[in-house]
Amino acid sequence: MTGREPGLVIASTMTRPIRLLAALILSIIALPATAREIAFVHVNVVPMDRERVLRDQTVIVDGDRIVTVGDKLAVPRDATIIDGERRLWLSPGLTDMHVHSDTRDDLAVYLANGVTTIANMGDARASFVGQTSPAAANGAIPGPQVFNAFVIDGSPAFGHFTATTPAEARAVVGLAKTNGYRFIKVYNNLAPDVFTAVAVEARRQAMPVVGHGVTRVGIASQIDQGQLLVAHAEEFFYTFFSRPGAEQTDAAPPVSRIPDAVALVRSHGVAVGADLVTYGSIMRVIGHPERVAACLSAPNAGFVSPADRLAWARSGYVRKTADLRARYTFLQQMVKAMADADVELLAGTDAPTVPCVGAGFSLHDDLAELERAGLTRFQALSSATRNAGAFVARTLGEPRFGVIATGGRADLVLSRVNPLDQLDTLRHPLGVMAGGRWYDAGALATLLSDAKSAFANSRNVDGARP
């Protein structure tokens, strides 16, 4: 490996293998600058290509790629050894396919939570797209790989970039392409002819269309025109289960309509955002400022920027009155039905735009909510690993991630327990590899400590992102 990170902690066969002690803490020995290959030996592997485990395996990484996986493999002479002692578990790094985080400290918090890929779904600062994201990709700063989306809306009502004519729409798509965005995200208020222009130009520019249900178009028509991802499961409420633009109530649609939504996305191979934590958090904080206050005083609030904490405190949700429990139960049932029908569900959180949904930690909350909705642990974990990797590979042509397989991107999480037995084990990684760069438990703790200190010392509390 080249380009050593401060605090990167592993060992080389030229010294001695890492031995995991009773406390399961990795020893600290510096890696020689000339070494590139890393070998995980005697690890139990959860490959996530299908529901299975492979016991006592060797996984060899060279640069940012997994070069081989198997038992009784010869380890390259100068490789760095990470020894799982036949009792630790190696699974793919996690993906959050719907975030709005855009600071380097946010990226560090994601990485410390085992999140090795994120999709920023809009409104990231230009410097984040042009500078911070590439810096994370090449290892100049610690963080996950980032795929950025450019948001297009039909009015400035939600504060997004606006296009009101087909010509403007085509120009905006071209501008997004020039500036390094990978997805085009459509928003609520686009006119039908403008949406069509976006879809056609995005296809010509090889930029996948993702996003919301557009009120004057409807999800079914959007999918027919090539939208590849419905960003939130709840979008079906607004432009599929009810007439687009119809007044929304607290009542849930009939459960008998769920198969219609499943059939629509299955027939077109469309992915759906499985972000139950987003709608669940909205449900819990609507009309309850005391619940937001409790989140702001919780220990994990220290890993949220002052500007985002202030936005949570001022959130309009606490001034609304609604009872979303029936609709949330409906979403649980719909997401479970989609999982059982092999719809490509993608875990997402909307962090940090929704009160109580912070970077990194909330992805684990989403996996827990998916499990409570009835998804198996394999189904839930697939939404944050294999499904996300397959979607990005198919739509963007990127190297495959989200599985442990030869040729795949070296994004890995080392844990004490098989995550297919206990998803919560991923909340406490013993180590994380992102693009071939290894961070042991001590390095991860330092990332969190540094991010917390940076946020605590920030004076930027006037609403601008630090």
- Mean pLDDT by runs of 10 across the 466 residues of the chain is 31 41 36 64 98 98 97 93 97 98 97 98 94 96 98 95 97 97 97 98 98 96 98 96 85 97 98 98 96 96 96 93 96 98 98 97 98 98 98 97 98 98 98 97 98 84 39
Q: What are 460's two structure tokens?
A: 């930027």
User: Could you identify the residue written with the tokens 């939600």?
Assistant: 158
Gap between the Cα atoms of 48 and 67, Å rounded: 17
Gap between the Cα atoms of 313 and 293, Å rounded: 7
Asked if residues 129 and 179 have their Cβ atoms less than 8 Å apart, the reply is yes
Distances (CA, A) of 127 to 81, 360, 434, 465: 37, 21, 22, 12
Indicate left, alpha or beta for 32 from its phi (over 0: left) and psi (-120 to 50: alpha): beta
What's the whole-model pTM score? 0.91
Query: In this predicted structure, what is the pLDDT of residue 459?
Result: 53
Gap between the Cα atoms of 342 and 263, Å rounded: 11
Verify cis geometry, omega within 30 degrees of 0, for the bond prior to 134.
Answer: no
